[in-house]
Amino acid sequence: MLGTLGSLGILGALGLSGCGSKAPASGGLDADFAVCSMTPAVHYMPGMSVRSASGAYVASIESAVTTRADMTQISTPAIGSDALTVAVTVAGDAGLDASAAAAADAGSSAPADLTMTSTALPWMPVHMHGASELPTVSSLGGGAFGVSGIGFFMGGYWQLPLNLVPASGAADSVLFSICIPDD
């Protein structure tokens, strides 16, 4: 009988065996983004945002830098080791917890005493596998966070889950659905 790690290794190998790249362009799609056709993934643009699960916050990817295998850097999410700057603001309506409401009442769009964590691997739902390491999250102050060490090792539809924890401790979450182009 295989142990859990052995089973996961076999499942991972089976999942990777079906992972191809360079899907042909169809329907007028840019060939680099064809890998994300028929998925909810969106192309990266600075300021792309999602609402938290509770609706209390809005998280926006303000900037991205990818370090490629040859150590060159580009200013967009791509295959390589990615780092993002994510800004979180209070949504300003339903679902506010006490600390978010206090920040909104104070006229600040940045939530007071909010922390962000990464507790799940970036995931490729179509391929049923994820990255091998958790990204590192650091506070940059004023509701901004650095998320680094994101291992987008192949092009396609990726989900990047992040947890938001306000001072009240009632955790919330955001999920970015990002298309990493083939290159």
Domain 4-180 adopts which CATH fold?
A: Immunoglobulin-like (2.60.40)
- The domain segmentation of the chain, as residue ranges, is 4-180
What is the residue whose two structure tokens read 């142990």?
Answer: 3
Terminal alpha carbon distance of the chain: 40
83, HSE (Cβ side, Cα atoms, 13 Å): 12
pTM: 0.76
What is the residue whose two structure tokens read 């945002």?
Answer: 49
Q: Digits of tens for pLDDT over the chain (183 positions)?
A: 444 334 333 333 333 334 444 434 344 445 566 889 889 999 899 999 999 999 999 999 999 999 999 999 999 999 999 999 999 999 875 444 444 444 444 445 888 889 999 989 999 999 999 999 999 999 999 999 999 999 999 999 999 999 999 988 789 999 999 999 987
Candidates 72, 99, 101, 109; CA nearest to 169 is 99
Predicted confidence at residue 95, as pLDDT, reads 45
Question: Rg for the chain (alpha carbons), in Å?
Answer: 18
Q: What are the φ/ψ torsions at residue 71 (nearest 5 degrees)?
A: 75, 5
Other CB atoms within 10 A of residue 127 CB: 16
Give CA angle at 142 (136, 146), nearest 5°: 20
